Amino acid sequence: MATNYESQLAELRAKRDSLKDELDSIERTSTGAVARAERLSSGVAKIAKQIDDLRESERKKMMDAFERGELRVEHGSDIGPELHTPGADPWATERMQIKDRARYALEAVARDAVLPGTDGAVERITRSFDGVDGAVDVDVLARWTAVASDPAYLSAFSKLCRDPANGHREFSAPELSAFQRSRSLTRTMSLTDSAGGFMVPMQLDPSIIDTADHSFNQVRQIARTVIATGDIWHGVSSAGVSASWDLELQEVSDDSPSLSQPTIPVYKQQAWVPISIEALMDATNVAEEVQKLLQVARDSLESVTFVTGTGSNQPTGVISALAGVTASNVAVTTADTFSITDVYALDESLPARYRQNSTWLAHRKVYNRTRRFDVSGGSALWAQLAADVPATLLGRPTAEAEAMDSTPSGTNKHFLVVGDFSNYVVADRIGTVVELVPTVFGASNRPIGARGFYMFARTGADSVNDGAFRTLNGT
C-alpha cells in the first residue's frame, strides 16, 4: 500500500507531467500563446519546488526517527548509507530507497536538461523501473541511474575529457566521490576490464538520449527502445484475448491469451572518435561535444544495421527479420515495377489493429518516386509527400532509411515497409563506456595534436511481432 508521502509525490508528479505535456503542445505563434507558455513554465517550476520540499520534509522525518532509535543505519551500499526499519527486510528497504533516490535523480536531470531528448530518456528509464518494458534488474538500473546522473560525475567526466592524463588532479571532493562510485559500479556491471574506461554520464549517453533532429538514424526514433541490464533482453508478447458472445448464464469460454517470451541478445559496437586539442580547448562544453561525436558514430552504424543487420554478431534489422516471413511480404503487381497500386495494396494488407500506429519506412528515392504518382495535389494519395514539412503517406507518418533498397528491380528487393514499429525493439545495454587516449599518433608515430575517444556499447534489436509489419517485395 502506498504511503501518504508516496501518494503526495505521485500526485505532484502527475500534475507536473500534465503541465509539461500541455506546455510541449503549445505553438508559440501569438502573444497569447507565449504568455500561456510562460504561465505553464512557472507552474512546472512551482511544482518542482513542491516536490523538493516534500522530499526534504520526508528526509527530516526519517532523520528524526533515526535519532529516536526507530531506524538504524546499514552501510555497504555503493551509493551511500541507507536507513532501515528494525525488524524489516533490510534488502527490501534498501532497494526501495535506491529506487526512490534514482527517481529523484531523474527529476533533477529532467529539470536541468540542456540536451534535446532528455525528457524521453527520463520517461524510458522510469518505465523500466516499473517493469513496463520487460524484465530488467531494477536494482542495477537504479544504482546506475543514481551514479550516472550525478552532476558531480558529469563535471568530473568533463575534466577528464579535457585532460585525460591529469584531469583527475582537479577533482573536487564531490567529483572524486562520484567518480569512485562510478568505477565501483562499472566493475560490478562488468562494463569494462581492469584497464577500464569511464562510464559516460547518463545526460550524454548516446544509447539513452534520443537526439531527435540531430540523428539520421530514424529507425531508432520510431522503434520501441528499452533498457537491458544483461546479455539478453526478455520481453512478453501475446496475440491478445479473443472475446465471445454468450447466452445468459452460459459459462464463459477460457479466453486466456497464449504468452510468449521474445528474447533479444545484445552485441558490442565500438567506435574511434579523434578530436583535435584545439577543439577541446575551444569548446564551451567538451562533454557535450564528445556526446555529439559519439552519437554520429553510433548513428552511422545503427542506421544500416537496424535495416539490414543479419543477427549474427550484430542486431537483426527490420528487413532481415521480415524477409523470410511469407505473411509479411507483399509482391508488387508487376515484377520489378513500382506503381501507385502497390502503395494501396501494402496499406490494405496491414491488419487494422496495427494500422492506427503505423509508420512508413523507405529510401528517399522511393518517396520521390511516390511523389510523382500524385500529380493532382492530393487526389491520388490523399496528401502529398511534401519535401519541406513532416511528410505523411495515406495519413500515416514517414521515416527514411538510406540502407533500404531504392528500386524494385532485382531479386528480393524489399523497398517499402509499413507497420507498427513499437513491435521492433531496440534493447540498449545500460552504460556506454569511453576510454580516453591522451595522445593520438600519426602514420610516422608522431603526435598529430589530437586526443582519442574509444567508445564501446552493447545493443540488440529485432522484430518481436512480425505480423505488425508488411514489406513490399519487388519480385
CB of 231 closer than 8 Å to CB of 237: no
Give the least confident one: 104-113, 150-159, 199-208, 286-295: 104-113
Three-state DSSP string of 167-184: HHHHCCHHHHHHHHHHHH
pLDDT of residue 106: 73
CA angle centred on 211, ends 206 and 212, rounded to 5°: 145
Q: Averaging pLDDT over each range in 87-96, 295-304, 322-331, which range is the top one?
A: 322-331
**Cα 260 off chain centre by:** 24
pLDDT of residue 89: 41
Residue 1 — very low, low, confident or very high, per pLDDT cuts 50/70/90?
very low
Residue 88 — very low, low, confident or very high, per pLDDT cuts 50/70/90?
very low
pLDDT of residue 79: 36
Pairwise CA distance, residues 402 & 415, whole Å: 11
CB of 424 closer than 8 Å to CB of 463: yes
Contacts of 376 (CB under 8 A, 6+ apart): none
Residue 283 — very low, low, confident or very high, per pLDDT cuts 50/70/90?
low
Residue 371 — very low, low, confident or very high, per pLDDT cuts 50/70/90?
confident
**Better-scored residue on pLDDT, 123 or 327:** 327
For the cut 80, the answer to whether the pLDDT of residue 66 exceeds it is: no
Pairwise CA distance, residues 51 & 53, whole Å: 5
Residues of the chain with pLDDT > 90: what percent?
A: 24
- In degrees and rounded to multiples of 5, residue 341 shows phi and psi of -60, -35
Residue 12: count of CB within 10 angstroms of its CB: 16
119-159 tens-digit pLDDT? 666 777 777 776 656 545 677 788 888 888 888 888 888 88
- The amino acid that residue 154 corresponds to is L
Contacts of 232 (CB under 8 A, 6+ apart): 263, 264, 265, 266, 460
- Cell 531523474 appears where? 106
The two most distant CA atoms of the chain are separated, in Å, by 88
For the cut 50, the answer to whether the pLDDT of residue 90 exceeds it is: no
pLDDT of residue 190: 64
176-232 tens-digit pLDDT? 888 888 887 777 776 554 445 788 888 788 777 655 444 578 899 899 988 887 788
Give the least confident one: 66-80, 107-121, 260-274, 454-468: 66-80
- Cell 553510433 appears where? 298
**Better-scored residue on pLDDT, 188 or 17:** 17
Average pLDDT over residues 103-115: 66
Grid coordinates given for 90: 533490510
Average pLDDT over residues 45-71: 70
Give the least confident one: 151-165, 213-227, 396-410, 450-464: 213-227
E strand or H helix that includes residue 427? strand 424-437
pLDDT of residue 191: 58
pLDDT of residue 192: 52
E strand or H helix that includes residue 82? strand 82-84
**Nearest residue to 426 (alpha-carbon basis) of 400, 399, 458:** 458
Contacts of 433 (CB under 8 A, 6+ apart): 186, 191, 192, 197, 198, 199, 200, 455, 456, 457
For the cut 90, the answer to whether the pLDDT of residue 4 exceeds it is: no
Instruction: Bin 395: left if φ > 0, else alpha if -120 < ψ < 50, else beta.
Output: left
pTM score, whole prediction = 0.71
For the cut 60, the answer to whether the pLDDT of residue 86 exceeds it is: no
E strand or H helix that includes residue 151? helix 151-162
Instruction: Indicate the average pLDDT of the chain.
Output: 78
Residues of the chain with pLDDT > 70: what percent?
A: 76
Q: Averaging pLDDT over each range in 40-44, 128-132, 467-471, which range is the top one?
A: 467-471
